[in-house]
Amino acid sequence: MKSYEKDDHMTTTKAMIGCISPQDQKELRCRGIDCIDGITFEGHVFLLSLMPCCGLLALPFWAKISGWLVNERQEEALLSIMVTLFDEKQEPLASYSDVIAVEAGEKGSFDVKLVDFQEASQTYTITVTDMELP
């Protein structure tokens, strides 16, 4: 399993259009990425959702993490991408996931939606694992 320790895989978008709220100011820091052999993690972005106002509808999540993976294997991969949020004491608060299929030699993208606003969250990790078909 490969681990990525740097934060340079993350870009945060701030101050998009919309109303200001406490969660708009919440910027989490990525503290690690673990990826299985044969899958390369190309990068990700942390995106806050817009708050509903001025006629905008609320999105069903407060933020999402979108990213890109490359399947370097000779066969299709069914992957689970798990994002875990942590508080300032590094205690886990919540986990969210997405499942994607990526053809051999192709690039795939994921969107992990952080559904519940976690006021105490400070950091997050991303873990990519193989999924087994039932």
Which pLDDT tens digits describe the chain residue by residue (134 residues)? 656 554 444 444 444 444 444 444 567 899 999 999 999 999 999 887 765 555 455 556 778 899 999 999 999 999 999 999 999 999 999 999 999 999 999 999 999 998 887 788 999 999 999 997 66
- What pLDDT was estimated at residue 102? 96
Instruction: Tell me the C-alpha distance between 22 and 8, whole Å.
Output: 25
Which structure tokens are listed for 133? Answer: 């078909």
- What pLDDT was estimated at residue 70? 97
- What pLDDT was estimated at residue 62? 79
Instruction: Tell me the C-alpha distance between 75 and 109, whole Å.
Output: 17
Which structure tokens are listed for 19? Answer: 């109303």
Q: What is the pTM of this model?
A: 0.76
Domains of the chain, first to last: 2-16+28-130 (2.60.40)
